[in-house]
Amino acid sequence: MVEIPEGVYTRPLEIGQSYGMVHKEKAETSVLVIEKEGVPWYYDIMKFLELRVYPDGAEKREHHSIRMVVVQYILCGGQIYRRSNDGIHLHCLKKEEVKKVMEEIHQGIYGPHMNGRMLAKKILRIGYYWNTM
For 41-74, how does the pLDDT look when each residue is reduced to its tens digit (9 = 90+)?
888 889 999 999 998 888 888 899 889 999 999 9
Burial class (CB in 10 A: 0-12, 13-18, 19+), 44: buried
C-beta of residue 56 within 8 angstroms of C-beta of residue 48: no
Q: Does domain 32-129 have CATH number 3.40.5?
A: no
Mean pLDDT of 13-33: 53
pTM of the predicted structure, to 2 decimals: 0.60
- 42 versus 107: the higher-pLDDT residue is 42
In the predicted model, what is the mean pLDDT of the chain? 77
- 114 versus 32: the higher-pLDDT residue is 114
pLDDT of 77 over the 80 cut: yes
- 122 versus 51: the higher-pLDDT residue is 51
Boundaries of every domain in the chain: 32-129
Q: Where are the alpha helices (DSSP H) in the chain?
A: 43-51, 60-70, 95-107, 116-126
